């Protein structure tokens, strides 16, 4: 999808801002919009479909928890398809429909600040989800610790390269430059890679987290640093998979590559030996935490986080690094997010058997 211009996003933000004075003058009943707490409307605004998690896991899990907490509540789910201006429009739409709380994973963390201000002017609470919104103080933030994620995948890779006595340097494939969470992951990666003794050959901020763009960049680096790349630290499974594809297309051995999100395809790559690690951050944990926080807000209560980030009360969870050594226990075990009969299919069956996965 074509990335909106800054002018387009600014125009959308201005349109929202223009409504703010009217919203500020609204009555309290207009601000609370969704009726009483037992019949409240809650918006769940997700950023893109490039990552399969939002449609397959985040939205269904959030809806299920909300139904458990509040049978009469309605969840208005929207996905922006990586379009920041579309997310602005979706926010305006759910506000017009009278939501009492908005849970938002922003496409563009800076542009989302206008959504926060607009919602709060209508006394609608905003919960930043997965990605923070530094330019405006949301009412709450729920996520795994993104800086720690970066540090963990980076350190896991560095430790492995040292154990294998690898020679050469590291490529770093970061996430979207407009995603504040990606910047935290990037900071964490540098905290592990920079003092590692391995040279950082080059790094790239992937626009919109788009795997095709990450693959194109890695392909160029393979040509430039042929024979010198010891490993690739990629900020998520999409960019990690793109790096793996680039090496395969170049007809060269795939070095250890990191990931994050524990997507099914990433689990299969790890089992096959194409991807070194990923991060397990059970979506159920954050989706349900966001639902609990939203429910408290619509009841007039204030959830309390376990820390503060960007001046926002935050609830941050600790993730788990997954490699071949623990994938059976963490991802495919009784409480794992994935099932062996879905992962160990076709070409992956033999590799699963070799690892004792069933």
pLDDT digits (tens, 9 = 90+) for 28-49: 333 333 347 899 999 999 999 8
What are the angstrom distances between the C-alpha of 117 and each of 41, 72, 314?
Answer: 19, 27, 18
Q: Minimal CA–CA distance to 228: which of 288, 297, 315, 169?
A: 169
Q: How far is CA 194 from CA 48, 144, 205, in A?
A: 31, 23, 17
Say what the pLDDT of residue 311 is: 93
Residue pair 72/39 in contact by the 8 Å Cβ criterion: yes
Report residue 104's pLDDT band, with 50, 70 and 90 as the boundaries. very high
Tell me the pTM. Answer: 0.81
For residue 163, give both structure tokens. Answer: 């154990």
**pLDDT of res. 53:** 84
The counts of H helices and E strands in the chain are 15, 12
**Domain ranges within the chain, ordered by starting residue:** 41-145+283-317, 146-281+319-355
- Interval 143-161 mean pLDDT: 97
How far is it, in rounded angstroms, from Cα 18 to Cα 114?
A: 11
| Identical fold, 41-145+283-317 and 146-281+319-355 | yes
In tens, the pLDDT along 260-319 reads 999 999 999 999 999 999 999 999 999 999 999 999 999 999 999 999 999 999 999 999
Classified by CATH at the fold level, domain 146-281+319-355 comes out as: Rossmann fold (3.40.50)
Three-class DSSP category at 342: helix
Architecture of domain 41-145+283-317: 3-Layer(aba) Sandwich (3.40)
Q: Which of 173, 213, 179, 209 is nearest to 193 (CA)?
A: 173
Residue with tokens 């963990």: 152
């Amino acid at each position: 999808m074509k990335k909106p211009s800054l002018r387009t996003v600014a125009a959308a933000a201005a349109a929202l801002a223009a409504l703010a004075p009217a919203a500020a003058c609204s009555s309290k009943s207009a601000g609370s919009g969704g009726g009483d707490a037992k019949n409240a409307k809650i918006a769940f605004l997700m950023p893109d479909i490039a990552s399969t998690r939002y449609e397959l896991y985040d939205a269904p899990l959030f809806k299920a928890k909300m139904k458990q907490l509040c049978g009469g509540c309605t969840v208005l789910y929207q996905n922006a398809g990586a379009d920041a201006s579309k997310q602005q429009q979706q926010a305006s739409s759910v506000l017009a429909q009278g939501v009492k709380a908005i849970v938002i994973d922003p496409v563009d963390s800076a542009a989302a600040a206008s959504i926060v201000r607009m919602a709060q002017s209508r006394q609608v609470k905003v919960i930043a989800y997965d990605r923070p919104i530094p330019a405006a103080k949301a009412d709450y933030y729920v996520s795994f610790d993104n800086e720690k994620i970066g540090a963990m995948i980076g350190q896991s890779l560095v430790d492995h390269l040292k154990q294998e006595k690898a020679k050469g340097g590291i490529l770093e494939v970061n996430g979207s430059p407009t995603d504040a969470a990606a910047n935290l992951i990037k900071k964490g990666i540098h905290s592990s890679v920079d003092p590692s003794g391995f040279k950082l050959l080059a790094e790239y901020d992937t626009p919109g987290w788009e795997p095709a763009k990450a693959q194109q960049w890695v392909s160029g680096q393979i040509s430039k640093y042929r024979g010198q790349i010891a490993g690739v630290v990629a900020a998520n499974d999409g960019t990690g998979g793109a790096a793996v594809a680039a090496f395969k297309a170049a007809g060269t051995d795939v070095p250890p590559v990191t990931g994050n999100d524990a997507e099914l395809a990433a689990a299969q790559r790890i089992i096959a030996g194409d991807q070194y690690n990923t991060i397990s951050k059970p979506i159920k944990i954050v989706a349900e935490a966001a639902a609990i926080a939203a429910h408290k807000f619509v009841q007039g209560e204030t959830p309390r986080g376990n820390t503060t980030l960007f001046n926002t009360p935050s609830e941050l969870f600790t993730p788990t690094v997954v490699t071949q050594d623990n994938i059976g226990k963490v991802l495919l075990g009784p409480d794992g997010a994935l099932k062996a009969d879905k992962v160990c299919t076709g070409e992956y069956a033999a590799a699963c058997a070799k690892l004792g996965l069933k």
